[in-house]
Every structure is written in structure tokens, then in C-alpha cells.
Structure 1
Amino acid sequence: MSNRTHTFTVVGVGIILIALLIAGMAWSLFLGTVHIPAHTLWQVVASKFVNTITIEDPRQGALNDIVWMLRMPRVILAALVGAGLAVSGVIMQAIVKNPLADPYILGISSGASTGATVAILMGVGIAFGEEYVGIMAFIGAMVISFGVLIIANMGGRANAIKLLLAGMALSAVCSAFTSVIVYFAKDKEGIQNVAFWMMGSLAGANWDLIGIMLFVILLPIVFFWFQTRILNLMLLGDEVAITLGVDLHRYRQLYLVMSSIMIGFAVYAAGIIGFVGLLIPHIVRQALGTNHKGLIPISALGGALLLVVADTLSRTIIPHTELPIGILISVIGAPAFVYLMIKQTYAFGGN
């Protein structure tokens, strides 16, 4: 496929995904426990940009709160978290040169889980306020990320294999520590909260959180999009990069830290949601190839669409009950991933 043809294909797929994402977000806004007529819903949304509703209008009050304060932040947060997880998966796979990597393979999810468990069952971090569980999860993710870098650089400079092994080792340590805390805990309600939080939920969405997530998700995605040459070189290996005058060592560390920030805030906002960073890059690579110029934006759109649809299903598939989104993603993602691995010829980088 020539560069021009590839560019046109990426643009075409991007336009289709944007249209599907807008439709999915509209569908998500419409569905819920409380039925809101479509024309009323759009009038409530439009009133936020054009003053078309008076104080006496019946669309004010409860309907306004449901649409604008509950559903809209949740839909936007789902799109941001999905985009961040998908792009983080792309970056992690390039860093360790492994198509089976995802945002959690380097121990980041285990670090977040440990942080959340310590907060819920031991009360650590309660001084941070009402959001202390999410903040401790973010701190745990970042501590493990820096720990991976430190261990991987011991005895020589870090490379893809050392980063992967360091992540696996720290992940095992965190999982064991979390299990010990849960095993000795006597707080049954706290254990249930830990289990539910680790399954993922977007129920805590609000506009203040959206403001933070816009900054920590969109800016890194734009940054990585301008780093496509380096990311493409990572797939070819250090030897090829050195012959071209590029030292990948410092780029790996920078990219790992930036990806960890995205993942940490995603965990802070939505709990543990797996499979997005593994499944979406696989699908996009098989459709469009391994060039990160198209892979990053299309993966971001694909991840956003997947999580918006999954979150909508998680809160509507069982009446008056919210199914943890992590469970639903796993049910969808695992069979789809196995199918892709069996039926498709997979290429990664220069291999």
C-alpha cells in the first residue's frame, strides 16, 4: 500500500469512526433508567450552548440534571478513558516490542490495585478527601512505573526485554501484597468495595474530572502522534535505530512515564478496565498496518467508541442494575481477541 493510499484509507476510516462515535454518544445519552424523549434531550443539550430554556421551562430541574450532570459527563469520560487506554496499549507494545503487551503488562494495573486496596481496607490516604481511593490508585500506578524504570536500568541500560521482565516481577509482588491485605482484612464491606472497584466503573464521572482528563489524555495522544518516527523505529529494534543515529533508550523511558500518567489517571477515573489496550491496537494493525501515523489516532477513536458502547450496555443490559464495565469488556474482548489470533495473519513491526 502506497503512502498516499494509506493516508486516504486512514482518513476514511477516521471519518467513519468519528461518525460512529458521535452516534454512539447520542445513543448513550438517550438510554437510561429514566426515559427522556429525544427532542427534550437535544433541547436540554442545546440550551447549554444557546439560551433557549427559561427558568419556568419543564426541561429544567430533574431532566436537566439527569442529562447534563449525570449522563453527559459519563459519556465523555468513557470516550476519554477508552482513547487513553487504547493509545497506551499502542505505546506499550512499541516500547517492549511485543504485540501481546497492554497498558497493564508492566505492572501498572497491579500497582493501581494495591494502592486502591490499601486505601479502602487500611484507610491510607484518607487525608486526600473523598476521592482518596482513586488518588491512591494513581499513586500506586506511578510508583510501579518508576520502579520498573529503576529495576530495568540496573546492571546496564534498559531495553525492551528488561522492561518487560521488571514489570512482570513487580506485578507479581503487588498482586501478592494485595492478596495478603485482603486475606487478613476483617472488613467484609471493604472487601466488596475493593472487588467492585477493580472491576471498573464510570459512575463517578463529573465535569471537574472531565476537565482533568481532557488535559492528561488528549495532550499525550497529540504528543505521541508527533513521535511516530521514533515509535516506528522501536518496532524495528535497537540495532536498526542505532544505524540511523537514534538512541531509543531515553525515548523508552519518556514514553513509559507519559503512558503511565495516562493509565494512572484512567484508573483514578474509572477503576481497572482491561483488554482495551490489547484488543483495539490488534484490530487497527490488521486493518491499516503498523505505521503509527495512522495507528495512534484510529486506535484512540476505536478505544473511545468501544468504551462508550460498553458503558452504555453495562448500565442498561440489566434493568435497574449496573454491570461492572470491566466484566463486560472482558466478555466481549477475550473471544474477539482469540478469534483475531486464530483467523488473521498478524504482522508486527519489521517481522
Structure 2
Amino acid sequence: MPVPPPSTLSAGRRRRSAAPLVLGLAVLLLASLVCGVGLGAAGIGWAEVLRFLWAGLTGGTVRAGDAAAYTIVWEIRLPRTVLGAVVGAGLAAVGTAVQAMVRNALADPFVLGVSSGAAVGANAVILLGAFAGLGVWALSASAFASALAAMALVYAVARSPHGLTPLRLILTGTALAFGFEAVTTVMVFGAARGEAARAAMMWLLGSLGGATWAQVPLAAVTVAAGWAWLRVRAEALNALAMGDETAAALGVPPGRLRRELFAVTAAVTGTVVAVSGAIGFVGLMVPHLVRMLVGADHRRVLAVAPLAGAVLLVWADVLSRLLLAPAELPVGVITAVLGVPAFLLLMRRGGYAFGSR
């Protein structure tokens, strides 16, 4: 049976098409990617940036004197910008799903404790030198493995004879997140001060400074697969957002769907956190802003939110590089500075509520 979106429950509300917004955001994202590559502490002209991008895409060659600038553009800025777009898209898509899964407007991808769990593994590498044998993969692999362990622990504790209920998921994820953060704090205070502690802080607040081409394919495939699954299940998400009883009446088993959502969102969150650290506010703020533009139907929200999240994080990373150049700010600081006032204005907007148009 087709599942009506929540917006159809209110008569007379105008249906807004997402197609023009999707097209506009796609063009904006392409322009943002080019700007993200062209802007940085090292002054490289736009003509050179475009020439280096064309050479990299077509397999062309560059002059010997341009080798250093080409390396900055193609090997440092471009993978960083692309990874930022992938992470932003993943956080926005997962944030949309988590808010429907737990039916809580304040939920975000980190409410399940996955981010805090990943921080334990990441800081074990940064502060204690664990898994040094994995080389450049040590940080991402350790963060992802600890994220999966946190996911398994949250699932085991939150599960009850009645399945995974929203309240148990939120309470369990929040409680275990505090526990993981306590472990991380002990590790930071117990480690020697200096560059390691600073690197740990950068990771905890989110950073794309260590992005490489090797990280992009796995993150992109995981985010794309997770988004595709969510799009297929968009009508079921509409039903779940209206409550378990309504979902069951419409033929959507809420317990099974919530378990599937838990696995998908945790896997995507664990993957993006492993390559970028804990970047806040994207998964919380973007879904709400998108609902204001296209309504509460998840078929439209999931079409727009990943593009909006990608654009937001690309520009947040650009600002993190430029504001204190040549030093860098954590990306999470920029998203918080942008997100806090935007979210407060959203909350003060008359008539707005989670799941409404």
C-alpha cells in the first residue's frame, strides 16, 4: 500500500517540487568544488587552477616549474574538497534518517554514540601510537573499527523484547556517548602535551586536513549506497515519522525498519567520521532547513539534503582554511558558528515543527 507523506495529513498545504532546487544545488555544488580547489593559503591563479584540473582529468602534463602548484591543486586541495562534499552529503542524509527513526527533532547522526566511539579508536592512534603497523590507514581503520564496536554495544543495550524503541535508542546512545567521551578525555589528559594533543583536538572537532585520494572511494561508495537505500525506503520513512502504530497500520513493520535504519546510519556515520572526525551541526541543521523548503516528504528531503550538506561543508572547509591562514581551524568550529544562529532562527520561525511543512 502506498504510504502517504506526512504533509498530506494537513489539507490545503501546497506541494512544492524539489526538482528546481536539486538542479540549482547541483550547479552550486559544482561551482563550490571549483572554488574549494582554487581558494587556499597558497596563492594560485584561477587560470592555473583550471589548467591543472583539466590536466589531471584528461591525463595531460604540466610544466616542470608548475609541479609544486599542481601538487597543491590535484593532490591536496581537490581530494580534500571532494571528501568534504561526500562527508557533508552523508551527514545530511543520515541526519534526515535518524530524525525519522527516533522521531526527535534534535537527533543527529551522532545521537547513537557512534561518533564518540570512533573518537576512542582515533585517539588511541593519535595519542598512544596504537596500530602503527597499519601506516597511513591506522587512524581511519581504528576509528571505523571502534565506531562499529560502539554501534554493536548500543544495539545490544538498547534492544528489548519490544524491539528498538526511539526512547531506548536515544537514552542508550546518549549515555554511552558520555562514557566514550570520558575514555577519550582520560586518554588526552594522560598523553604527553604537544602536537599529539593538538591533533586529537582537531580530530574531535572535525578536520579534512589529512584527506587523500585513497580515502575518497570508500567514503563515496558507502555514502552513495546508504543514500540509495534511504531513497528506496523514503515512503516507509514517511510512515515511521508518523508513529509506530500508523506505520504498522500502513504495512510498514516499525521494529524491522528501525533495525535496518540503525545499521545503515551507523555504517555511514562510522565511515565519514573515520575520515573527517566529528563534524557537528550538519546532520542536525540541514534536514530542518530542507524541510522548510520542500516539505516533510522524505522522497523530496532525501533528494535535496545531501546536496545542501555537501555545499555547506565545502564552504565550511574553505573558511576553516582561510580565516586564520596559514593556520587552520577545525571544520566543526565553522559549522557550529554557522549552525547555532541558523538553528536558533529556525526554532523561532513561527509555525515550524518537526514533520511539518
TM-score normalised by L of structure 1: 0.92
Query: 1:24 deviation in Å?
Result: 1.4
Query: 1:155 deviation in Å?
Result: 4.5
Does residue 295 (structure 1) correspond to residue 301 (structure 2)? The answer is yes
Pick aligned residue for 1:31 from 39, 48, 51? 39
Aligned to 1:221: 227
User: Number of residue pairs matched?
Assistant: 348
Q: What letter matches 1:271 in structure 2?
A: G
CA RMSD of aligned residues (A): 2.2
Does residue 147 (structure 1) correspond to residue 166 (structure 2)? The answer is no
Aligned to 1:210: 216
Aligned to 1:160: 166
Q: What letter matches 1:348 in structure 2?
A: F
Q: Which runs of 5+ in 1 are unaligned?
A: none
Aligned to 1:72: 78
Aligned to 2:329: 323
- Give the 3 Å change call, closer, same or farther, for CA 54–112 of structure 1 in structure 2: closer
Preserved CA contact (<8 Å) 2:113 2:151: yes
Query: What is the identity percentage for the equivalent residue pairs of Structure 1 and Structure 2?
Result: 34
Q: What letter matches 1:232 in structure 2?
A: N
Whole-angstrom CA distance in 2 between matches of 1:35 and 1:64: 12
For 1:70-109, list aligned pairs within 5 A: 70-109=76-115
Aligned to 2:4: none
Q: What letter matches 2:251 in structure 1?
A: G
Cα distance per residue 1:144-176 (max 9 Å; x no partner): 112121112134322111111111121122122
- Give the 3 Å change call, closer, same or farther, for CA 318–350 of structure 1 in structure 2: closer
SS state of the match for residue 324, structure 2?
coil
Preserved CA contact (<8 Å) 1:146 1:257: no
Q: What letter matches 1:14 in structure 2?
A: V
Preserved CA contact (<8 Å) 1:236 1:350: no
SS state of the match for residue 101, structure 2?
helix
Q: What letter matches 2:80 in structure 1?
A: R
Preserved CA contact (<8 Å) 1:102 1:278: yes
For 1:1-351, list aligned pairs within 5 A: 6=15, 9-50=17-58, 53-54=60-61, 57=63, 60-349=66-355
Cα distance per residue 1:294-319 (max 9 Å; x no partner): 10121000000000001011101223
Whole-angstrom CA distance in 1 between matches of 2:169 and 2:121: 21
Preserved CA contact (<8 Å) 1:235 1:348: no
Q: What letter matches 1:330 in structure 2?
A: A
Cα distance per residue 1:249-304 (max 9 Å; x no partner): 12111111111111111111111100000010010111211101010121000000
Cα distance per residue 1:116-137 (max 9 Å; x no partner): 2233333333333233122222
SS state of the match for residue 131, structure 1?
helix
Preserved CA contact (<8 Å) 1:88 1:263: yes
Cα distance per residue 1:39-84 (max 9 Å; x no partner): 2221221223445x556x3575122212111111111111000000
Q: What letter matches 1:149 in structure 2?
A: Y
- Give the 3 Å change call, closer, same or farther, for CA 188–41 of structure 1 in structure 2: closer
Cα distance per residue 1:151-206 (max 9 Å; x no partner): 12134322111111111121122122222333333454432221121121111122
- Give the 3 Å change call, closer, same or farther, for CA 123–293 of structure 1 in structure 2: same
Whole-angstrom CA distance in 2 between matches of 1:283 and 1:272: 21
Whole-angstrom CA distance in 1 between matches of 2:340 and 2:131: 35
TM-score normalised by L of structure 2: 0.91
- Give the 3 Å change call, closer, same or farther, for CA 46–120 of structure 1 in structure 2: closer
